[in-house]
Amino acid sequence: MKTKHDGLPLVSKDYGWFYGVLCGFILAVPVCPVLSQTEDWEITAASEKALQAGLRWLAANQGAEGNWGSNDLGLVSMGVLAFLADGHAPGRGKYGPVLQKSIDYLVDNARPSGLLNISNSQRDMYNHGLATFVLGQAHGTNTSQDQKLTRVLDRALKLIVNTQCDDGGWDYHARRKTSGHDLSLVVMQAKALRSAMDSGLRVPPEVVSLALRSVREHYAPKNGKRGAPEAEQREGPGQFAYGKGGGGGTTAMAAAGVVCLQEFGQYDDWRIVKNTRVLEEAIGRVAPSSRRDGKMPFDAYTLYYVGQALYQVSGDVWKRNYPQLRDHLVATQIRSARDPTRHGSWRDVGARGGGRVGGKPGQLYGTAVACFILAIPNRYLPILQEGRIEALRSRQRQSPDVSR
């Protein structure tokens, strides 16, 4: 993999407790056919202009500490992800110092336990999962041997493994229990584990297996017969839901479940098709807008997963739907050249409502997610690289077993 600006080859580093490629479960999966390179239709002159304006807003409003005035490590991580997605590298190039400052903020605020959360403890595993995912992507795109980053990432991954609940899920708090809380927490941690795999770090395969089982247990058929045989559930509509009882069947959860299954190679799982239909129906209900009010097609949380789900499914689903998300973002980006605190930004508000983060944190969240979505076609992030699982299979090697 190469960064956008320096052309240097990127290699994964071999450090720590999680060293080695992910063996067993993930290495046995088939490889999904995906787009091999950026296609002409994916990026327009207008979308590239909007992306660069968004990155300029993020850089200009970052603040001296590199945290956009927020102690929420999840939100700060999204700012980091926006720059990484456009191929920028820590410490190098146009936004190198900006990116390095925010990564340093994340790393410096890691707790001795490995936990990446310094705000409300109710956000322990939300922020931890997201920050670990992003640091894993930074680790995979960094040509220098950042030992501090590696140590923090190593402890963060170990915490995820050690706090996995008996049913394969996770709790809001960084603690192991009998049962996890909801699908959103499972997907946050699962993406962090996959990010580690992309960087050549080892994750116990049983942890992945349990997490995927938990994801599938959050699928709910529309007829309400969750206990029905799988063959019967395949017949009718259904989708992933927030809770195992079927409550909270949102667009965000449908997308999150798809992302998790796709990123762990479960390409033939019948639930993907069911939930992809849910996503396409939701996108079809979003009306075009050109009001430049910063409203996105969906709230930031939902859009973050919807964009990734469409990309991972790829093919006609990606081609039919991505242009609508892209063009909506271009049309609604705030343009106010006389006000640098707003110019080039978006808000955490969806076209049909939603969004929970207001003020400047909401601007950070909305703008970072919008930039990430606009940058997906660049395929700079390890998580977006084609052939990742096949490459890992070819590098398979023996590593010591890791217990909790």
Instruction: Report how far apart, in Å, the C-alpha atoms of 300 and of each of 122, 185, 248, 270, 306 are.
Output: 20, 17, 17, 27, 10
Cα(213)–Cα(98) distance, integer angstroms: 39
Cα(344)–Cα(292) distance, integer angstroms: 10
Cα(140)–Cα(22) distance, integer angstroms: 15
Of 58-62, 288-292, 295-299, 385-389, give the lowest mean pLDDT range: 385-389
pLDDT class of 20 with cuts at 50, 70, 90 = very low
CB atoms within 10 A of CB 86: 24
Chain mean position to CA 278: 20
Q: Per-residue pLDDT averaged across 321-348, rounded?
A: 97
Q: What is the pTM of this model?
A: 0.89
Of the chain, the percentage scoring pLDDT greater than 90 comes to 75
Structure tokens at 403: 């217990």
The torsion angles phi and psi of 221, rounded to 5 degrees, stand at: -70, 150
In sequence order, the β-bridge partners of residue 221 are 238
Neighbouring residues of 184: CB distance < 8 A, sequence distance ≥ 6: 126, 242, 252, 253, 256
Which residue ranges make up each domain of the chain?
A: 26-222+235-390
Rg for the chain, CA atoms, rounded: 20
Chain mean position to CA 157: 16
Residue 310 has what pLDDT? Answer: 98
Is the CB of residue 325 less than 8 Å from the CB of residue 307? yes
Q: Which CATH architecture describes the domain 26-222+235-390?
A: Alpha/alpha barrel (1.50)
Judge whether residue 388 has pLDDT over 60.
no
Is the CB of residue 348 less than 8 Å from the CB of residue 311? no
pLDDT class of 145 with cuts at 50, 70, 90 = low
Residue 402 has what pLDDT? Answer: 35
pLDDT class of 225 with cuts at 50, 70, 90 = confident
Q: Per-residue pLDDT averaged across 50-62, rounded?
A: 98
Closest CA to 79 of 297, 294, 309, 372: 372
Type of residue numbered 217: E
- Alpha-carbon dihedral 238, 29, 86, 41, rounded to 10 degrees: -70
pLDDT class of 144 with cuts at 50, 70, 90 = low
Closest CA to 119 of 80, 175, 173: 173
Cα(20)–Cα(202) distance, integer angstroms: 5
